A and B are shown apart, each in its own frame.
Chain A
Amino acid sequence: EPEVTQTPSHQVTQMGQEVILRCVPISNHLYFYWYRQILGQKVEFLVSFYNNEISEKSEIFDDQFSVERPDGSNFTLKIRSTKLEDSAMYFCASSGQVNTEAFFGQGTRLTVV
């Protein structure tokens, strides 16, 4: 069964460093998302991406964040200068059509020290 794949599964970084979280969405999907879950809190929407551009972003997704689909398969989330409060599980998701179920990857645990 097709699945969304995320790497790495765990990333530890020092405050102020840049990180890139990588995702390979399901191959025929067109809509891509990043969500995050801070420990003990809800899963929160960060950004949606369609047709090579951001379609919506949350207030969390400030100038420190960017997304890119550098080739036909990868979808990346970059955090330019990490802060302690960026520590969370980051989930990539994709869907084949708009407003249908999204399929999630297993997540990347980001720890900022």
Chain B
Amino acid sequence: GAGVSQSPSNKVTEKGKDVELRCDPISGHTALYWYRQSLGQGLEFLIYFQGNSAPDKSGLPSDRFSAERTGGSVSTLTIQRTQQEDSAVYLCASSLVAGGDEQFFGPGTRLTVL
């Protein structure tokens, strides 16, 4: 079956511009996660959605970052007024349920801020 998909695969933008990254989770998975992987920082948690519950935003690094999940499926991560330190690979994952299930990752979006 189809796995987690993300688009675009690569995004190059200029400092100060806004960007939107998209994630399509595995069909039927109720939990969706965003992580960021940057050089020297490893993989870090950003935000987590579970069903209709309020998202856990505890990992978002600043108020320039936000995410939505529409209809319990597709999610969009938005970064406003991008900075060079935002350059990283943004990974999305989904799991069947929260709290215990295996997380399956998408291929990621490589963001480069010039």
**Do A and B come from the same complex?**
no
Binding site for B on A (CB under 8 A): none
Binding site for A on B (CB under 8 A): none
